[in-house]
Amino acid sequence: MPWNQDKFERALQTRRFGREAVFFQEIDSTNRWLLENEGRFHTAGATVIAEHQSAGRGRLGRHWEDVFGKSLLFSVLLRLNKLNSAPLGFIPLIAGIALAQTISETCENSPKGLQLKWPNDLLIDDKKVAGVLTESVTSKNKFCVVVGIGVNVYQDAAELPMATRLPASSLHLSGLTISSRENLLAQILFRFEKLYDLFIECRVQEIIQNWAAFSLSSRSRFAVKRGEEVIRGTYEGIGNEGQLLIRESNGNIQEIYSGEIVSETDRQRDSARG
Ligand code: BTN
């Protein structure tokens, strides 16, 4: 079904997020557009949505591919006072948590293998279904962060990119029933707004607890790539700045602020999640 902006607005239950919204049938990148046009918006949570991106941006300079009308592609504007809020490293984490909570709480047939991979890949049964790209701009004493989110919703196997770092999937291929993309976005923004309030109020421990519901279980073995270096060890959680904590075999805890998980050798998940 084509995107229906009225239907999205009717489904919205937020105070600010998504209340200012712009929709494009096609654009190069919603992140690029919002970074350049942030001055047009008055509220935190202004949202730009597209049916298709001709030059979708991914993390670490990668491309984000989509098929017209089959993804959820959007960017959310946040305006920050860096002195008062939680550390910026939590922004990608809260976006990922909002995605994971929405899927687990609102989709029929919510999957058991739903997992967040630091900092913000959303996996179902080890396949990536959504990604988050955070970019920022400073203008006239304002610090703006644009959080871009891409969710593969209705793609079939042949419509997914092949040459990706992680195998890709879609919500549809993972067996989930989605009421509509409009409702999905309204639900994501509802949770994102609540998590953003925790972020603004510096309630870091609550964010970390929310993250833990979808992350690797404690002491799982994994490896992370930081530049050219690969660090192996066990998962020790998330630090007070949103950084990944990994314990090496010699007992040292490494703090990873930028990098990506390259392998996981122990896939145990928190049994409480079923
Ligand atoms: C990743 O590499 O995992 C992040 C992908 C982020 C893609 C989204 S789609 C909407 C927004 N606009 C962009 O150009 N990129 C983000």
Domain extents for the chain?
Answer: 5-212, 221-273
Ligand 1 centre distance from Cα of residue 78 (Å): 16
**Average pLDDT taken over every residue of the chain:** 90
Q: Residue range 181-209: average pLDDT?
A: 97
Ligand 1 centre distance from Cα of residue 192 (Å): 16
Q: Residue range 151-177: average pLDDT?
A: 90
Question: What pLDDT is recorded for position 138?
Answer: 82
CATH number assigned to the domain covering 221-273 = 2.30.30.100
Q: Give strand pairing partners of 254.
A: 246
Question: What pLDDT is recorded for position 144?
Answer: 92
Give the fold, CATH level 3, of 5-212: BirA Bifunctional Protein; domain 2 (3.30.930)
Ligand 1 centre distance from Cα of residue 246 (Å): 27
Q: What is the pTM of this model?
A: 0.92
In testing the pocket of ligand 1, which one of 31, 49, 122 has its CB within 8 Å of the most ligand atoms?
31
Q: Residue range 206-228: average pLDDT?
A: 90
**pLDDT (tens digit, 9 = 90+) per residue, 235-271?**
999 999 999 999 999 999 999 998 888 876 544 433 3
**pLDDT (tens digit, 9 = 90+) per residue, 86-127?**
899 999 999 999 999 999 998 877 778 899 999 889 999 999
Q: Measured from the CB, is residue 59 less than 6 Å from ligand 1?
A: yes
- Of residues 218 and 17, more confidence is placed in 17
Question: What pLDDT is recorded for position 267?
Answer: 46
Question: What pLDDT is recorded for position 180?
Answer: 95
Question: What pLDDT is recorded for position 266?
Answer: 43
Ligand 1 centre distance from Cα of residue 269 (Å): 27
Ligand 1 atom with the smallest distance to the CA of 32 is 14
Q: Measured from the CB, is residue 96 less than 6 Å from ligand 1?
A: no
Ligand 1 centre distance from Cα of residue 227 (Å): 21
